[in-house]
Amino acid sequence: MAQQPLHFTLDRTSPVPLYFQLSQQLEAAIEQGVLAPGSLLGNEIELAGRLGLSRPTVRQAIQSLVDKGLLVRRRGVGTQVVHSQVRRPLELSSLYDDLEAAGQRPATRVLHHGTEPATAQVAAALGVPEGTEVRYVERLRLAHGEPVAHLRNHLPAGLLDAGADALAETGLYRLMRSAGITLHSARQTIGARAATAEEARLLGEPEGAPLLTMERTTFDDTGRAVEFGSHLYRASRYSFDFQLLARP
């Protein structure tokens, strides 16, 4: 468990905060196995002195990795690298990015694209009066040329003016971020049901095949609902896969 002192390089002229420079280098050391799982980090005071930083700054760097689940602190013991392989926790990510990260070559077919009056369900989700004109987008998502999901999204009018070609090329979340929208949180429900004849045809499944359903409302940091989605996934080709961290 004994640790030879790691070397960190800090650039005080950089606009990157010192605690962030340190946490990045620590994280890299953990991921590359330079800091073995279970090994102790060395106490904070000594580390601060060695780096020429104050203890609160070092603590801030360590804390950010504790929040990520990479480190565990124990009073009277020290700070240890977690043993288990931590993958990323569930993020506010889009299916497109997930598929791309998995090397699945995502593609999108835009089936529908225009405005519609909001139904009661959509109006409630977006927080607008029923009947308000809202943007409606219906897409089929493919991976390796095979249908994976049928995506139906409603957005407040005027929020995003992406055309069909932009929608075909990338994910909705990426488009919203590019438009300067800061995504803050989302409320999701994941369930399952049997495919109707129409859904089966679209997704290339037999009628009655089990489908995963997800409904999601996404909010920006002002509390505005920016998107309501109602999606269907082929259970035979897709599952939700994620990591949870305990809330201490």
Partner DNA sequence: GAGTGGTCTAGACCACGGC
Partner DNA sequence: CCGTGGTCTAGACCACTCT
Whole-angstrom distance, CA of residue 144 vs CA of residue 133? 35
Whole-angstrom distance, CA of residue 32 vs CA of residue 115? 49
Q: Applying CB under 7 A, which part among 25-33, 39-47, 92-100, 157-165 lies near DNA?
A: 39-47
Considering only residues 64 to 83 of the shown chain, the ones binding a second copy according to CB under 8 A are: 67, 69, 72, 82-83
Q: Which two tokens stand for residue 216?
A: 């999601």
Q: Among candidates 91, 95, 118, which has minimal Cα distance to 172?
A: 95
Q: Is 39 in the site for DNA (CB under 7 A)?
A: no
Q: Is 241 in the site for a second copy (CB under 8 A)?
A: yes
Indicate the residue among 163 and 191 with the shorter CB distance to a second copy. 191
Pick one of 50, 68, 73, 237: the residue that binds DNA (CB under 7 A): 73
Q: Among candidates 140, 161, 169, which has minimal Cα distance to 152?
A: 140
CA distances from 148 to 59, 92, 95, 198, 231 (A): 44, 19, 10, 15, 11
Indicate the residue among 124 and 164 with the shorter CB distance to a second copy. 124
Q: Is 87 in the site for DNA (CB under 7 A)?
A: no
Indicate the residue among 50 and 152 with the shorter CB distance to a second copy. 152
Radius of gyration of the chain (CA): 23
Indicate the residue among 78 and 170 with the shorter CB distance to DNA. 78
Considering only residues 182 to 241 of the shown chain, the ones binding DNA according to CB under 7 A are: none
Question: What are the residues binding DNA (CB under 7 A)?
Answer: 15, 17-20, 41-46, 52-57, 59-60, 73-79
